[in-house]
Structure 1
Amino acid sequence: MCRDYLAQLREDYSKITAKGFQVVVVAPSRGSFIKQFLEAFGPFPFPILGDPSRAAYRGMGHQTPPKWKLLAKVGVGLVTGKLKGMIPTDEKQKEIVMKSMKTQDVYIQGGTWLFAPDGTILWKHIDTSPEDHAKIDKVLEITDTLN
C-alpha cells in the first residue's frame, strides 16, 4: 500500500465525499496484514479491503512490472535522496514497511478508479510506476466534471 497516497486520500477525504463520491481502497494484501498496517498508520475514514489473490488488480488491468526495473528505481532514489521518507522513523511503522517489503507484493502497481453507482467506469488511472499515482487534485478536478 502506498502510505503517502493513502495519507493524501485521508487528508482530502472530506473534499471527495462532499462531491458525492465514496473512497474504497483495495490492497493486494490479506486482511491480517491490512489490520497491522492500520494499527501502525491508521486510522483512515474509508475502508481498506484486501485482494490477496490480486484477482481484482489483474481483472482491472493492473500490472507487475519487472522487479529489476523497480529495484533500480529505488536504488537511484536512495542514492539521489529522492526517497528520504521511504523507511519511516517511527518503529511500529518501520516494522510494517520492512515486513511488507519481505512478504507483500510491493511491485504490483495500483490505480485510481471512479465508478457510477451502477458500476459504470467514469474515469480511471492505472499507475505505471510507483511515482505515477493519480494526483488527488486531478481526481478532484475530474469529480467536478462528473457532477
Structure 2
Amino acid sequence: MADKKNENEKQMEEVNDLRISRTEKAEYNMDFSKIRDCVVYDAMGNKIRFGDIYKNQKTLIFFVRHFLDFIAKDYVEDLGAIPVEYLQEANVRLVVIGPAPYKFISDFKKETGYQYTLYCDPERELYQKLGLKYKVESVSLNASRHIKQNVLMGMIRNTWKIMRVQEWEGDIKQQGGTFILGPDEQMHYHHVDNNPVDHAPINEVLQAAGVQPVSFPRDPRVQEL
C-alpha cells in the first residue's frame, strides 16, 4: 500500500510539474542597453531608433516571421482587427516589426488589412539581440487561435507570391516574439515564439496591457453592449 501511495504521489507531482511548465514563462532578462539604439525602418526607408518607439507610451510590440508566411499574415490580420478605440482607452500603442526589407511594408499592410505601425528589421539585429529563436520546425496549425487558412491553401498562396515577386521577404528560419514595453525602459510582458504557431494569443497580450479583449474568428469573446 505504501509503495502504491508513493507511486500515486509521484504521478501527481509529475502532473503538477507539467501544469507549471505549460503556464509559467521561462525567465527572460531584458537588457535595454543592447536594444535601445538599434534601428528599424518605416515604409519610406526612414531609420527609427527602437528606444523611441516605446519611450513615451506603453507599447505592444509584435515581432513576426517573414512576410510570405501565411501564418504570420493571419496573425497580423487579427492584430489589425483590434479597434483603435480599445487601444486609445488604455493609452496603448501597437507596433509590428518584421524581418523583411522595408519595401515590402506597404504591400503587406494591404494584404493583411493592418493599419497600425509596421517597421522592418531586415538585418534581424533586434531579433538576435532579443534572443528570438532561429530554426525550422514542423508544427500543427491547430495550436494557434489565429490561423484561419489551411496548409494547402496557405502554401499555394505563398508559392504564387514567391513566383510573382521572385524575392524572399525575410529569413524563413527566423521566429518571432511579443513584448510590452514602456513608457521608458519597462517590460510588462514577454513571449518568445518556439515555432511559427507559438505566437502569443492576442487577447492574452491585450489583457496584460489593460486593453479589453477582442472577438476573433477562432477566439470568440462576448462583447459588452
TM-score range, shorter chain: 0.7 to 0.9
Per-residue CA distance 1:18-71 (angstroms, 9 max, x = gap): 3211011111011112233234x1442212111011001111110111x3xx2x
How many equivalent pairs are there? 133
Distance in 1 separating the partners of 2:96 and 2:133: 17
Equivalent residues of 1:37, 1:96 under 8 A apart: no
Q: Which one of 3, 17, 24 corresponds to residue 95 of structure 2? A: 24
Q: Does 1:127 align with 2:213?
A: no
Q: Percent identity?
A: 24
Structure exhibiting the larger radius of gyration computed from Cα positions: 2
Which residue in 2 is equivalent to 1:9?
79
Find the residue that maps to 1:7 and give its secondary structure.
helix
Structure 2 gaps, min length 5: 1-66, 142-148, 212-225
Q: Is residue 119 of structure 2 the alignment partner of residue 49 of structure 1?
A: yes
Asked if residue 35 in structure 1 is aligned to residue 106 in structure 2, the reply is: yes
**Segments ≥4 residues shifted beyond 4 Å:** 96-103
Equivalent residue letter for 1:51: D
| Higher mean C-alpha displacement, 98-107 vs 125-134 | 98-107
Q: Which runs of 5+ in 1 are unaligned?
A: none
Distance 1:139 1:128 in 2: 17
Q: TM-score, normalised by structure 1?
A: 0.73
CA distance in 1, matches of 2:179, 2:166: 24
Larger relative helix fraction: 1
Kindly state the Cα deviation for residue 101 of structure 1 after the two structures are TM-superposed.
Answer: 8.3
TM-score by length of 2: 0.50
Q: Offset at 1:137?
A: 1.2
